Structure 1
Amino acid sequence: MSRLKKRKLGAAALIVLSLQLALAGCSQGSSQNSVVKKNGGTQTTQLIPGANSKDYQSLRPVSNDQMRGYINYGVNNRVDVDQLELGLMNMSKSVFSPDQYVFQSGQYLTENDINGMLYRQGQEKNKTSGSLPGLNPPLGTGKTAVQRAQSSPKYLNYVLEQDYLKKSSNGKYVLAGVSIAVSLNSVYSDQIMDQNQNINSIQEQLNSATVKAWGRSVAPKILQRVRSVKGLSKVPVFLTLYMTAAPDSLIPGDYFAKTTVSAGSATIDKWTTVNDQHVLFPSTAASSQYKADLAKFNTFKSDVQKYYPDFVGVVGKGFYENQTLTDLTIDINLRFMDETEIIGFTNYVASIVNNGFGFGREVPIHISITSNDVQEALVDRTSSMDTAYVHIFQH
């Protein structure tokens, strides 16, 4: 997968920020364009330029879009929300090239469409009206509601849509492709009301292989639901499978499969494996799979902690494509007493990055320095930089 070539984690936050800034000041560099909507009418909106030629131009979000933010009701972890959205956009570049397509947030799947897939079989609303059955497994066996839910976990937590448009011969932008991410649980987390009207929390670790196999088996049904939506019956569909992390995880989950369905087809021919992995430093996964990189991180951590040995917390978040580290975000937390301490410490960190840093220049590094959950400074280094970029935030 290629995740904005996968400028991850810290980089992902910068991407979101740059998009927000672009939208906030959209009169500069943007243009008015007509977009054909799913009901056949047209709408005038602004086309926002991409940050560079490798990024999508985007159509400004619709102010009354009912699906804005709805993903948060299905996906429990903010890092998963970010990764699900940005990861899908980045992978879509291999199918819908940024030099031919523009991006728009999903406009076709409604709240009812998505909920209709997320319901358990047998629990969908308005069953008598002929609505389609839910796709999550039906309740299992047990004497109580909690036991019935635990014995048959939900696997599907969200279905994300992204739209990719082209300018037609009459100058209007029309839908030319859609990307779909099927988001699956690695942990079944739920709130169940019992017969006494008490809310019971469920959190069950799921078997990864079982969930992935279920995701592949249910994907054709999701594709059929997508095809049944007016406006989506003919366009190419880029379909992906994503496994979320635990609700309290510091790093997101990962995409693990993808396929492209040609225009008008409702059949999945084959899946392509996506070999992406987010790894926390330090962690068991880092110790067992990436010992050399963990050693480099520990050396950096040790050098940083020499500044204030007892008060510096250092956590790393690496992103691997095909077992190669392609992005590293490092969070450093320290309680500062004054501005001069922040400046001195940030320059000290930057000097480590510039001199003898263990990770090669081919790995983008993003270091966030915080104090009491407030970002104080940023140290950033990419392959094109001779020295690290440093920014001290003023509050």
Structure 2
Amino acid sequence: MKRLGILPGLAVILLLGGCLPSFGTEKEEVIQENEESIEETVMIPNIQLKDEFYKTLIPFKKSASRGLIVSKMNTKYDIQEAEEGLLRLSNQHFDTKNHFFQEGQHIDKETASSWLSRSSADEAGLNPPIKEGMSEETASEEAPNYLAHIVEQNFLVMTDEKKLRLAGISVGLALNSISYSRSGKETEITDKVIEQQGMKMAEEVVRRLRTQEGLSDIPIVVGLFKQESRNSIVPGTYFATAVAGKGQSAPTGWKKVNEKYVVFPASSSNGEYRDMNDKFASFKQDIDAYFPSFVNVIGTGFYKDGNLKSLKIEVPIQFFGTSETIGFTQYLTDLVITYFPNVHTEVSITSVNGPEALIVNEAGDAKPYVHIYGY
């Protein structure tokens, strides 16, 4: 095979001159060379489901720190949102039309574990040290672990020479809002402290990334993520973001990220979401009218800049026969169109046997997508 050139310090993907894959038009076959010049065949899918989605290289390269997040994050909701929320921040800087996504390859598991340590246990640790004579119980209150996890995402672009090169990195710092001692005592960490510690750590993370080969001139987006408590049924959200531009040694221009998840029915005293809460209450009443002994219905709304962007509703039911499930799903679909016509809404109907039906209605659509499992 003819030797292919490498962009210094970067993973590179080169299109085979004039060649197309023999297995159809759904994917484009390319050659990837890493820093060690080892070649491997990868593919780029032609299909992009939504404008805000990035195309992902195939085979999918797992994050170099994969597996660490499960042990460090409080809930499954935080795990998912730490990654999805970072993608939303990345959309603002790395256009999905000409950027390809790859999970982070520059902060490996060993490095992440080291950075997440206390500085008294590992000199590279970003969390505060346990001072001499301080018990772990006291440290949990006076010097808590602020940083819970680090999420990295990579973005590549095609050059004029038909080469894909690294064009940007996004890093999310997941920060604890509550410190838990081994005895179970909870100590709340204020938003001001979380922000101060997060910005300080972000500067150090960017500084360390700049020392890696090939990353001295790569734009780095940083997001600060606030974890919710261990018993929360909604995820935390990113609350601040900044960018270290080409060659910059630290992130600058910190901006507030105004995102929030709200559970419905919400507290009646929460006037900010009163209108939506009233709609959801009426929606639930109509369901209760269909099934007088119906179990609880929970909705989770995602708000961005004060506007409701999406609504996910969980509807648990007793196991029904096929005809009864179809009838109820049709009834529920009509309610979704009536109450939430201008909001992206997903309704999951489940029973003890698992998923029964799914209703998805895009904002403004008159005909939602409806699927009844097993029918």
TM-score range (shorter-chain normalised) is: 0.7 to 0.9
Please name the residue that 1:20 is paired with. none
1:375 to 347, 355, 358: 355
Structure 1 unaligned spans of 5+: 1-25, 125-131, 193-199
Change (3 A) 1:261 1:143: closer
CA RMSD of aligned residues (A): 2.5
Change (3 A) 1:259 1:286: farther
Please name the residue that 2:319 is paired with. 336
- 1:234-272 per-position Cα deviation (integer Å, ceiling 9, x unaligned): 211111111112223221111111112111111222201
CA drift of 1:386 comes to 1.3
Please name the residue that 2:367 is paired with. 387
- SS of the equivalent of 1:293 reads helix
CA drift of 1:285 comes to 8.8
Please name the residue that 2:258 is paired with. 275
Please name the residue that 1:94 is paired with. 92
Aligned residues of 2:75 and 2:230 also touching (Cα < 8 A): yes
- SS of the equivalent of 1:311 reads coil
Name the % identity: 29
1:173 pairs with 2:156: no
Aligned residues of 1:36 and 1:172 also touching (Cα < 8 A): no
- 1:309-388 to structure 2, matched below 5 A, reads 309-354=292-337, 356-357=338-339, 359=340, 361-372=341-352, 374-388=354-368
Structure 2 unaligned spans of 5+: 1-22
CA distance in 1 between counterparts of 2:132 and 2:99 reads 49
CA drift of 1:134 comes to 0.7
- 1:119-178 per-position Cα deviation (integer Å, ceiling 9, x unaligned): 011111xxxxxxx43111122687643333343211101111100001234433211111
Please name the residue that 1:120 is paired with. 118
CA distance in 2 between counterparts of 1:27 and 1:226 reads 40
2:139 to 135, 139, 148: 148
Please name the residue that 1:31 is paired with. 28
**Most deviating of 92-101 and 370-379:** 370-379
Please name the residue that 1:207 is paired with. 190
- 1:291-310 to structure 2, matched below 5 A, reads 291-310=274-293
CA distance in 2 between counterparts of 1:328 and 1:290 reads 13
Change (3 A) 1:95 1:378: same
Larger Rg: 2
1:83 to 81, 89, 93: 81
Change (3 A) 1:144 1:350: same
- 1:208-247 to structure 2, matched below 5 A, reads 208-247=191-230
CA distance in 1 between counterparts of 2:255 and 2:353 reads 40
- SS of the equivalent of 1:221 reads helix
CA drift of 1:99 comes to 1.2
Change (3 A) 1:322 1:53: closer
Aligned residues of 2:345 and 2:362 also touching (Cα < 8 A): yes
Aligned residues of 2:65 and 2:110 also touching (Cα < 8 A): no
Give the length in aligned residue pairs.
352
CA distance in 2 between counterparts of 1:212 and 1:297 reads 34
Change (3 A) 1:52 1:320: closer
